Amino acid sequence: RKEVEQDPGPFNVPEGATVAFNCTYSNSASQSFFWYRQDCRKEPKLLMSVYSSGNEDGRFTAQLNRASQYISLLIRDSKLSDSATYLCVVNPNNNAGNMLTFGGGTRLMVKP
């Protein structure tokens, strides 16, 4: 089983649509969870951290289900500028290194 698994997509949605991405992770001891956004041939940029209680940042809502080892990202009212690859990212342990394990990403294309 892959450490962090995502549906690669692409998800093609019209502007204004609501879209949801899911991610599963294999290491039950994982401590921290994030969604990053990556535009084509650019660096990953932190979109939001994911907390156990769920959290929202504007049009973006992230949820974590530790029992199912499942993370989700919901984007409401999609904009053209939301077109990108969304990376599910996990910190598998809590040592000083704090390395991140990335999923393969889910590609979103928002059409006019």
CA distance 66 to 29: 9
Q: Kindly state whether residue 109 participates in binding other proteins, applying the rule CB under 8 A.
A: no
The closest of 11, 38, 31, 35 to 23, measured between CA atoms, is 35
Closer CB to other proteins, 17 or 100, in the complex: 100
Closer CB to other proteins, 20 or 46, in the complex: 46
CB of 46 to other proteins, least distance (A): 5
The footprint of other proteins on residues 36-65 (CB under 8 A) is 38, 41-46, 49
Asked whether the beta carbons of 10 and 104 are under 8 A apart, the reply is no
Sequence-distant (≥ 6) Cβ neighbours of residue 49 within 8 angstroms: 32, 33, 34, 55, 62
Query: Residue from 19, 23, 73, 103 that binds other proteins (CB under 8 A)?
Result: 103
Closer CB to other proteins, 75 or 88, in the complex: 88
